[in-house]
Amino acid sequence: MSTANPREANAELVARFPEIHPPFDKVSAVTEANRCLYCFDAPCTAACPTHIDVPRFIKKIAQGNLRGSALTILDANILGASCSRVCPVDVLCEGACVYHRYNKQPIEIGRLQRHAMDAFYSNGASLPAKSGEKRNGRVACIGAGPASLSFAAELRQCGYSITVFEGKPLPGGLNTYGVAEYKLRSSDSLHEIELIRTLGVEFHFGNAISSEPSLASLEKEFDFIFLGIGLGAMRTLDIPGGNHPGVMDALKFIEGYKIGGNLEVGRRVAVVGAGNTAIDAARAAVRLGAEEVQILYRRGEKNMSAFLFEYEHATQEGVRFEWWTRPVAICEAPDRSKVEGIECIRVRADSCGVLSDIPGSEYKIPCDMVIPAIGQTPLLEFLQSCRGVKIDDGRVVVDRATGQTSNPKYFAGGDCVNGGREVVDAVADGKRTALAVAKLLEKAHA
């Protein structure tokens, strides 16, 4: 396998993962932009967690002011380019479009946003200085995912010094490592983050803050610390054989093909779980050449956490769904060299939704690769070591308006706070928190 340069699009990946929402050409973009009603206090803007002024940026596209359009987007959402590709627009801006109530197609806001952002990045990607002032005040971010990036960009633009510490070798978190390639290419994510670096945000890679002393030294050096640490590793399949090398969790699998240059996949693949990441993994397996891909879920279609449009796309691509089934063991070859299948049992739910096995319904699904995609576990241990940062139900507890944790020196946003939502939610958390921190810094260094 080639060792791909993640900063450049990989030709084989591009061929296997054509974009699901190809870009508009100029004429189509203007035509689509002209359909926008230019609602006042628009529902699409309200539905966007970062409150991008959607009608404003669309109007600017219609009127040939692409730079103004891009800056309108970036002003609200510094990751406007990746959000335009990965946002579940059906349940956000486009889902809120008033055209749904008028028997018309909603405006293709995501693709229009991408149109403006593509123009911005292909024209040098220069942001106007928000403030020339350099202010006293230093803040650290732990993790270089969307929440930290948004937080860092906003605060940096207010004039403060920001240092981001990331354990992995590349920035971007799931944007770089975990989003299905047909939605967002790693190279595009990294391109976008370059903009934030040029603002003057400092990055330290391979530097996971994971010990009490490292935290203590951060506390000493920085005024405030932002936790943008995401959810951590995925849950493992806690069944016999669950640690066999033929069992690879969905995020590792996705990272492997996106960044690691590993385009190998089993012939028959079973994905466990029915969330959006499970679907990303299943569709990737199809594109990488698996002949048979199944998704196993212990509940029914109505209970899956994947968005409906993700489910529909997956079925269109040939992914089969096995509902009401629970894996009980991984079947290995006698010499343990490979996975041969997955042992399952049928389950049912009682009126309260409590699941129970159906005795005698055991069956085996032949497969040579198992991809568990059963949610990520929060980095509990680490968070508990942060003195006084309150955790509830595996999430960092914050004041919603400011992002401040129960320890006033610590702020947090993104998946570690919201339990695992979308990139745009992380960006919104980061920005909101940055504005609150900026106020505190101003006071502290007045």
Partner 1 sequence: MPEQKPDPDISVRFAGKIFSPNPFWLASAPPTNCGEQVMRAFDAGWGGAVWKTIGDPIVNVSSRYSSVDWNGQRMMGLNNIELITDRPLDLNLREIAEVKKRYPKHAVIASLMVESKREAWHKIVQQSEDAGADGLELNFGCPHGMSERGMGSAVGQVPEYTEMITSWVKEKARTPVLVKLTPNISDIRVVARAAKRGGADGLSAINTINSITGIDLDTFIPRPNVDGKSTHGGYCGPAVKPIALNMVHQVQSDPEAQLPLSGIGGISDWRDAVEFLLLGCSNVQVCTAAMHYGYRIVEDMIDGLTNWMREKGFARISDFQGLTVSRVQEWKHLNLNYKIVARIHEEKCIGCELCYTACWDGAHQCIHMDRVGSNNGQHPTPAMREAASRQSISVTPIPKLDLNASGNGEEPYPTPLARIPQIDESECVGCNLCFLVCPVEGCITMERVDKNLPPQSWEQRTGGAATPGRNCD
Candidate residues 1, 5, 102, 212; the one interacting with partner 1 per rule CB under 8 A: 102
- Angstrom distances, CA of residue 3 to CA of 10, 18, 185, 271: 10, 21, 16, 26
Encode 383-413: b = buried (16+ Cβ within 10 Å), e = exposed: beebeebebeebbbebeeeebbbeeebbbbb
Question: Least distance to partner 1 from the beta carbon of 220, Å?
Answer: 33
CB-wise, 47 or 314, nearer to partner 1? 47
> Interface with partner 1 includes 54 (CB under 8 A)?
no
CB-wise, 379 or 424, nearer to partner 1? 424
Question: Least distance to partner 1 from the beta carbon of 64, Å?
Answer: 9
Question: Least distance to partner 1 from the beta carbon of 360, Å?
Answer: 31
> Interface with partner 1 includes 65 (CB under 8 A)?
no
CB-wise, 390 or 421, nearer to partner 1? 421
Candidate residues 68, 419, 435, 436; the one interacting with partner 1 per rule CB under 8 A: 419
Candidate residues 116, 140, 432, 441; the one interacting with partner 1 per rule CB under 8 A: 432
Question: Least distance to partner 1 from the beta carbon of 427, Å?
Answer: 11
> Interface with partner 1 includes 99 (CB under 8 A)?
yes
Question: Least distance to partner 1 from the beta carbon of 43, Å?
Answer: 6
CB 93 within 8 A of CB 47: yes
> Interface with partner 1 includes 73 (CB under 8 A)?
no
Dist. CA 26–CA 418, nearest whole Å: 37
> Interface with partner 1 includes 46 (CB under 8 A)?
yes
The three state secondary structure string of 115-168 is HHHHHHHHCCCCCCCCCCCCCCCEEEEECCCHHHHHHHHHHHHCCCEEEEECCC
In the block, residue with structure tokens 């568990």: 372
Options 84-92, 187-195, 404-412, 438-446: segment touching partner 1 (CB under 8 A) = 84-92
CB atoms within 10 A of CB 85: 25
Select from 146, 141, 152, 137 the least CA-distant residue to 208. Answer: 141
In the block, residue with structure tokens 């980061």: 430
Please list every residue from 17 through 36 that binds partner 1, using CB under 8 A. 30-31, 34
Candidate residues 418, 430, 437, 438; the one interacting with partner 1 per rule CB under 8 A: 418
> Interface with partner 1 includes 328 (CB under 8 A)?
no
> Interface with partner 1 includes 39 (CB under 8 A)?
yes
CB 384 within 8 A of CB 229: no
CB 208 within 8 A of CB 125: no
Dist. CA 172–CA 149, nearest whole Å: 8
Options 97-105, 152-160, 340-348, 357-365: segment touching partner 1 (CB under 8 A) = 97-105
CB 405 within 8 A of CB 438: no
> Interface with partner 1 includes 352 (CB under 8 A)?
no
> Interface with partner 1 includes 71 (CB under 8 A)?
no
Longest dimension (CA), the chain: 72
Length of the chain, please? 446
> Interface with partner 1 includes 420 (CB under 8 A)?
yes
> Interface with partner 1 includes 49 (CB under 8 A)?
yes
Question: Least distance to partner 1 from the beta carbon of 337, Å?
Answer: 37
Hey, which residues does 376 pair with through a beta bridge? 234
DSSP 178: T
Question: Least distance to partner 1 from the beta carbon of 352, Å?
Answer: 14
Dist. CA 50–CA 425, nearest whole Å: 7
CB-wise, 290 or 398, nearer to partner 1? 398
Question: Least distance to partner 1 from the beta carbon of 58, Å?
Answer: 12
CB 423 within 8 A of CB 430: no
Candidate residues 14, 19, 23, 51; the one interacting with partner 1 per rule CB under 8 A: 51
Dist. CA 422–CA 184, nearest whole Å: 13
Options 129-137, 195-203, 323-331, 425-433: segment touching partner 1 (CB under 8 A) = 425-433
State the angle between helix axes of 54-62 and 26-35 in degrees (0 to 180), rounded to the nearest 10: 130
Dist. CA 349–CA 356, nearest whole Å: 6
Please list every residue from 396 through 415 that binds partner 1, using CB under 8 A. 400-401
Question: Least distance to partner 1 from the beta carbon of 102, Å?
Answer: 5
Please list every residue from 286 through 325 that binds partner 1, using CB under 8 A. 305
Binding site for partner 1 (CB under 8 A): 30-31, 34, 37-43, 45-49, 51, 62, 88, 91-92, 98-99, 101-102, 275, 305, 400-401, 418-422, 424-425, 428, 432
